[in-house]
Homo-oligomer: A and B are copies of this chain.
Amino acid sequence: MSDLCFTLRGLTNNFQPLIEQLRAGDPRALARVISTVENRGPGWSELLKALFPHSGHARILGLTGPPGAGKSTLVDQLARHYRKENRTVGIIAVDPTSPYTGGAILGDRIRMQEHFSDPGIYIRSMATRGSLGGLARTTADVATVLDASGRDLVMIETVGVGQDEVDIVRLADITIVILVPGMGDDVQTIKAGIMEIADIFVINKCDREGAERVEREIRALQSLAVRTDKWTPPIVKTVASQGAGITELAAAIRDYEAYLQKENLVLKHSVDSWQNRLLEMLRDALLERAQEQLANGAVARYAAEVAEHKRDPYSLVEEIVNTLGK
């Protein structure tokens, strides 16, 4: 315990003990490293550099769907299923949150309590922040930490169906889209944006009226396009609250894993994903350096000039880039 108690700043030159504790399965070490990475605390980058070589063994599942689809229940049931197979699980729940409600943290605690007795399940909630598009990247980094900690499976669960969620679940090896019957006409619109990323569809709450209709709609959309990898995403029906269909879902996941292996798609997918991630990391790092190079308060002054229409922002940005390049 004592070596966990000094600050991480002191650890940046010697965080090996912390990493060893994390790799030995110490949940407090894991929580501390995740917090440091999530909040970009002192030493976050060094921690990730040291952990990365230990990552790459976990299977990453991404689960998304519209609000009310019962994602959390499904994720919990799937985690239980994997625990029966003696596989360890890390869950990252990416929730919208608010200074008003602190929603994510509350949900975290409630769900944590339930699994409290099982160290084989680690749940972590992450808040949707107003950062410059950094949530997908932070989620990926936290997944790397869980992976390096030796978890067999990492499940990334997002609430919502926007570009954010697409960016987040795209990090996963296997993407599961959860739909639900009877959500009205707008479901058509919602589904449109995420149809492309689903490796497996789940119709949860399939005992509700309209399950067949949702299935027909998915089939109809599927018939219009062929994936480049020729995989046809299966549709699994579940009632997660009763544990129904979970074994079938796990089997569908196994099938897709086998397909990825057979077609040698795992590495290809990983290269594609890293190409995007490297560009995002590069973009952030370049801006960070530019901000260090710019005079204090320069951006605020420029913003005032643009807001008062004294300068056009398009020429201004070109000028800044040219000046910094010299």
Write out, one digit per residue, whether chain A residues 25-54 have a CB within 8 A of any chain B CB (1) or not (0): 000000000000000000001001100110
Chain A positions near chain B (C-beta within 8 angstroms) = 45, 48-49, 52-53, 55-56, 66-68, 95-101, 103, 128-130, 132-133, 135, 159-166, 184-190, 192-193, 195-196, 221, 224-225, 267, 270-287, 289-291, 299-300, 302-304, 306-309, 312-318, 320-321, 324-325
Q: Is the CB of B304 within 8 A of A271?
A: yes
Complex alpha-carbon distance, A279 and B52, angstroms: 29
Contact with A67, one of B189, B283, B321 (Cβ below 8 angstroms): B189
Q: Which residues of the partner chain B approach A278 to less than 8 Å between Cβ atoms?
A: 299, 302-303, 306, 313, 316-317
CA distance A128 to B281 in the complex (A): 22
Q: With A52-B312, A132-B279, A289-B325 given, can you name 16 additional A-B contacts, CB distance below 8 Å?
A: A45-B318, A48-B312, A52-B313, A56-B309, A95-B189, A97-B193, A98-B196, A100-B221, A101-B192, A162-B163, A271-B303, A275-B303, A278-B306, A281-B314, A282-B321, A285-B320
Assess A285 versus B190: contact at CB under 8 Å? Given A160-B162, A274-B313, A279-B299.
Answer: no
Stoichiometry, copies per complex: 2
User: How far, in whole Å, are A96 and B273 apart by their CA atoms in the complex?
Assistant: 22
A interface: dominant SS:
helix
CA distance A281 to B315 in the complex (A): 11
